[in-house]
Amino acid sequence: MKALVCNKFGSFEDLLLSDLPNPDPLAGEVIIEVKAAGINFPDLLTIRGEYQYKPSLPFVPGTEISGIVTRVGRSVKSRRVGDAVIAVHMGGFASQIAVPELGTFLKPKNLSFEQGAGFATTYGTGFYALKQRAKLQYGETVLVLGAAGGVGIAAIQLAKAMGARVIAAASTEKKLFFARQAGAAFCVNYSSEDLKQRVKELTNGVGADVVYDPVGAKFSEQAFRATAWDGRFLVIGFAAGEIAKIPLNLALLKGASLIGVNWGGWIGRDSDASHRNLSEVTNLVQRGLFSPLITETYPLHEYKTAFSKIANRSALGKIVLTMQP
């Protein structure tokens, strides 16, 4: 099989497109012929050796995939050969992958394989963050940082579908236009506007009920200062490359909550709830409330071009690699 292999931590430029033996399923596993795999910023961090989870070398990166089940191992009950599935598992940038049965979900029929590959992690994280962690209520205001990336767009679409009013924050007008197209009611350019002041203006001085922050760095404190009383600040990630330092007295003064969102850790602890969540998100898609936005696709051998879009933060929406023969 073809696979992108990381032999040393460093740049995505050092990945090697290699031929590896086809995997065999262990008990409880299925083999998936990968059709598409989504690229996420944590993939870059993992390749650099800077992510919270540091795999042993060598490894195949990529965790968000879609494809067709071609083989099933012993004890597999819910999957059969020919099932179109989406899955979350390390090793996705390859033409085949072995995945535990419980780590797979049936792909909604109205989603392409490319959309399926951009669905589980970004929308799974977003829905878990807004539903279980923030306990988002109808009519509340959600501020989304990094709003034009795949994670941000998913958060905008989900929050709007759940009845919230969304303020999108990004660094360029082009990105904000894209976020507005995804459903944001208001936009803030945090390269040229004061984030806290502008959010306060847009909420009549109240502030945002929920902040969705996959960015980190200096914008996190500004966004926390823009929360409403009893606000919830969701820590999604640190795409800016710097872990934010937020004065904890702000939480005290605002009666606000600083909430970590570890979707990967949660699905490992409560697979039943994670499957129910994904079913709910699938239902939102089937009702036509939104559709996963895949903006660019590249064949596996053009991985350097795809990764560079993520690395230089020029990507709008979701980028996906396809496994062409």
Residue 112 and residue 29 share a domain: yes
Contact between 189 and 145 under an 8 Å Cβ cutoff? The reply is no
Structural domain includes residue 260:
yes
Residue 109 and residue 133 share a domain: no
Domain containing residue 217: CATH number = 3.40.50.720
Residue 162 and residue 110 share a domain: no
The whole-number pLDDT of residue 245 equals 85
- Looking at the 3D structure of the chain, how many domains does it have? 2
Structural domain includes residue 172:
yes
Residue 245 and residue 131 share a domain: yes
Residue 126 and residue 69 share a domain: no
Residue 205 and residue 103 share a domain: no
Residue 259 and residue 131 share a domain: yes
The whole-number pLDDT of residue 298 equals 96
Residue 103 and residue 137 share a domain: no
Contact between 51 and 42 under an 8 Å Cβ cutoff? The reply is yes
d(CA 245, CA 304): 33
Domain's final residue, options 264, 280, 305: 264
The whole-number pLDDT of residue 291 equals 87
Here the tokens at position 87 are 């899955």
The whole-number pLDDT of residue 325 equals 58
Task: Give the domain extent around 302.
Answer: 2-119+292-322
Could you give the dihedral angle defined by the CA atoms of residues 146, 148, 150 and 153, in that order, rounded to the nearest 10 degrees? 100
Residue 126 and residue 84 share a domain: no
Report which of 173, 162, 120 is spatially closest to residue 138, judged by C-alpha positions.
162
Structural domain includes residue 269:
no
d(CA 27, CA 33): 18
Residue 253 and residue 129 share a domain: yes
Per-residue pLDDT of the chain (325 residues; tens, 9 = 90+): 999 999 999 999 999 999 999 999 999 999 999 999 999 888 998 999 988 788 999 999 999 999 999 999 999 999 999 999 999 999 999 999 999 998 898 998 889 999 999 888 899 999 999 999 999 999 999 999 999 988 999 999 999 999 999 999 998 999 999 999 999 999 999 989 999 999 999 999 999 999 999 988 888 999 999 999 999 999 998 876 678 788 889 899 999 999 999 988 898 888 889 889 988 998 998 898 998 889 899 999 999 999 999 888 777 888 999 997 5
The whole-number pLDDT of residue 167 equals 98
Residue 315 and residue 246 share a domain: no
Structural domain includes residue 73:
yes
Contact between 38 and 150 under an 8 Å Cβ cutoff? The reply is yes
Domain containing residue 112: CATH number = 3.90.180.10
Residue 244 and residue 132 share a domain: yes
Burial 115-138 (b: 16+ CB within 10 A, else e): bbbbbbbbbbbbbbbbebbbebee
Structural domain includes residue 277:
no
Domain's final residue, options 264, 279, 303: 264
